[in-house]
Amino acid sequence: MSALELVDTHCHLNFTSYDQDRAEVLERARSSGVRRIIVPAIDLDSARQALALAEQHKEVFAAVGIHPNSCSDFQATQLDELRALAQHRSVVAIGEIGLDYYWDKCPKPMQHRALEAQLELAAALERPVILHNRQAAEVLIATLEAWSPSAPVSLRDRLGVLHSFSASPAVALRAVELGFYLGFTGPITYKNADELRDIAAGAPIERLLIETDAPFLSPQPRRGKRNEPAYLAYINERLAALRGISATAMARQTSANARRLFASL
């Protein structure tokens, strides 16, 4: 059993790629030091799946939301269902929500409608948000800058996380200044990710989170294979080296950051 205490703040443990060995995946996570796992939804069905996993496993928590690639039929009734699901004791955030200009799965106006409605829901429920961004960073950060003044006092310094951060240093600075955290995933270990590593090395350490985004984005030592929470240790080690501290100290810091952001962990 690892001496590390890690929090995987973004893992799609409910996806079908884990159906054959989910119990073993969770056991490997525990053995590698992962103490908490947040499972974000991408639609209403996956939100229910995340809640079911949280009911079965004490280390699992959930976020509920409609992903930008799942919002083509977004309507008020879905928002009502999200509101009801968010009452579950294991729900720590609204997410995964955001903007995706890379995949052409949902018209941009509908993405914006869904995002803005869910930001309003998060503010009303006093829950932080887990944000997806794909080639839409400037528009997303401008949207967040417009929204953040309306957020309740309880969220002002913990509005949410820019998940699997992949934007510019300027966007990172703007996000941190607003009260957001930056989530780092497997790409921080990739050979061509120098700018991303520079951002991780320079951002306030109290604003860093580590995530797997499993089953996607496996870190370099496992690249090409299905990702899983046990591989979070590779991301922690890389981030620790960038900051010049021990892996234990980095695990302690990012876990404290996760508990601060997701108050119910």
CB 65 within 8 A of CB 94: yes
Label residue 248 exposed, middle or buried (CB < 10 Å: 0-12, 13-18, 19+): middle
Q: Where are the domains of the chain?
A: 6-261
What is the C-alpha separation between 213 and 7, in angstroms, rounded? 12
Q: Please give the helix or strand (H or E) that residue 243 lies within, else none.
A: helix 232-243
Per-10-residue mean pLDDT, the chain, length 265: 90 98 98 98 98 97 98 94 97 98 94 98 98 98 97 96 98 98 98 97 98 98 96 98 98 98 91
CB 178 within 8 A of CB 209: no
User: What pLDDT, on the 0 to 100 scale, is given for residue 22?
Assistant: 98
What is the C-alpha separation between 73 and 139, in angstroms, rounded? 22
The contacts of residue 114 (CB under 8 Å, 6+ apart) are 66, 68, 71, 74, 97, 106
- Whether the upstream peptide bond of residue 96 has omega within 30° of 0, thus cis, is yes
The contacts of residue 120 (CB under 8 Å, 6+ apart) are none
Query: What's the DSSP call for residue 225?
Result: S
User: What pLDDT, on the 0 to 100 scale, is given for residue 104?
Assistant: 83
The contacts of residue 35 (CB under 8 Å, 6+ apart) are 5, 6, 7, 59, 255
Least Cα distance to 207 among 168, 247, 239 occurs for 239
AA identity, residue 225: K
CB 94 within 8 A of CB 151: no
- Whether the upstream peptide bond of residue 215 has omega within 30° of 0, thus cis, is yes
What is the C-alpha separation between 48 and 4, in angstroms, rounded? 30
**What does each C-alpha distance from 137 to 78, 141, 150, 171 come to in angstroms?**
26, 6, 21, 7
Could you tell me whether strands 129-134 and 91-100 are parallel, antiparallel, or unpaired per DSSP bridges? Answer: parallel
Instruction: Name the CATH superfamily housing domain 6-261.
Output: Metal-dependent hydrolases (3.20.20.140)
Q: Strand, coil or helix: what is 233?
A: helix
What is the C-alpha separation between 215 and 207, in angstroms, rounded? 24
